[in-house]
Amino acid sequence: MSTNKRRALIIISSTNRLPLVEPEDVGSISTGFFLVEMAQVLKEFETDYEFDFATPDGKRPQLNINGMGLAMHSAEEMGERIVALGTQQSDPSFDVEEFRQRNADLVARREQEVQLLERHMGRMSVSELLPASEPELAAYRPELVRRLDVQPQRTWHSLKDLVQRHRDASDAFTFADYDFIHAPGGHAPMVDFLNNPWLGETLHVARENGVTISLICHAPVGVTSTQQRIDAAGHAYQVADNPFLAATISVVPKEGEEMALSYGYVHIPGKTVRLSYFVDEAIKEAGFTVSFSLDPETAYEPSVRLLTGNGPAAVDMQTAELRRILTDSPAAH
């Protein structure tokens, strides 16, 4: 059924395991994408947009349960509320229901975001609890799993499929029909958004067709992929003069990652946890200018229509900025 709605593409990592360098006896941990870094975009644009959903390989993504912690839903207040809510949950007399009542505003926002997921994305697997996952999440996960297990199954596009359809003159599909692309983070993009030629081709084709690109948290590591494109025979090649290098990239900073490794949900009690790389360093090594900030921030480069943000605390401001960009300088479709 045709509508008068505009169209947007949501690209999500389909990775469900995050490799670790240390501890060697662990190897990897369960991971996925952060709903909070996508839900605000769905909420802002669902009235006037239809969404298509894709993953790099076309496999269904996994929701990271640790992105569902109540503090994650507090937007720009996230830093201070992480500390406050962590203290409340460490109390020996901690009670889940009392905790939720004390933070009813965050419970309400989380529920609204889960309803957005149910409405737009259908059935979804949920990552495993980790040793440092919050107690409230341990109580919440079974309910969330039950809700998502009964949702209808939807088809996920692969980036290869979308690019090939765009190139097929007999196919009505074109990237020019999209006003914007948005990709949420969580640690999952560290695996399949890094130096991925099909993602690189996708971002270049989007740029060439006037599509605004929005990447948040770990998803900006996808800019490393713009160093490569895919030729007509399906082979990857290096981009000689990459226009995306004009952009300053806002991304989750190393300092934030180190706090998560030492004290947050990625931490494994009694062990040193080390990732294979830090996303800000990988982006800088790829030749980009990186903004290193622990405060919520976004960065926009109009020459390539690239908007980036440095984490869940920035999602509300990034969504508002995306709306402003689309309103002030609509894509030339």
Extract the tokens encoding 292: 């290193």
Q: Model confidence over 253-267: pLDDT tens digits? A: 999 899 889 889 999
Which pLDDT does position 329 carry in this prediction?
A: 76
Containing 58, the helix (H) or strand (E) segment is: none
Q: Model confidence over 65-114: pLDDT tens digits? A: 999 999 999 988 888 899 899 999 999 999 999 999 999 999 999 999 99
Distance of CA 103 to the CA centre of its chain: 25
In terms of DSSP H, where are the helices of the chain?
36-45, 78-90, 96-102, 104-121, 135-149, 159-167, 189-192, 197-208, 254-262, 279-285, 315-328
Beta strands in the chain (DSSP E): 6-11, 17-22, 28-30, 49-55, 62-63, 125-126, 157-158, 178-183, 212-216, 228-230, 236-238, 248-250, 274-275, 289-291, 298-301, 306-309
- The domain locations on the chain are 6-328
Alpha-carbon gap, residue 216 to 202, rounded angstroms = 17
Local confidence band at 332 (pLDDT 50, 70, 90 cut-offs): very low
Percent of the chain clearing pLDDT 90 (strictly above):
92
Alpha-carbon gap, residue 261 to 26, rounded angstroms = 14
The DSSP symbol for 240 reads: S
Q: Model confidence over 7-37: pLDDT tens digits? A: 999 999 999 999 999 999 999 999 999 999 9
**What average pLDDT does the structure give for the chain?**
95
- The SS3 call for residue 11 is strand
Local confidence band at 1 (pLDDT 50, 70, 90 cut-offs): very low
Extract the tokens encoding 242: 């990459």
Q: Model confidence over 119-152: pLDDT tens digits? A: 999 999 999 999 999 999 999 999 999 999 999 9
**Mean pLDDT over residues 292-316, rounded?**
95
Extract the tokens encoding 259: 């706090």
Local confidence band at 3 (pLDDT 50, 70, 90 cut-offs): low
Domain 6-328, classified CATH 3.30.9.10, yes or no: no
Phi, psi of 237 (to 5 degrees): -145, 155
Greater model confidence, 263 or 170: 170
Among 30-39, 167-176, 251-260, 306-315, the range scoring the smallest mean pLDDT is 251-260
β pairing state of 49-55 and 157-158: parallel
- Whose tokens are 């996303």? That residue is 279
247 within 8 A of 308, measured Cβ to Cβ? yes
Non-local CB neighbours of 184 within 8 Å, separated by 6+ positions: 10, 12, 33, 34, 35, 36, 37, 38, 216, 217, 219
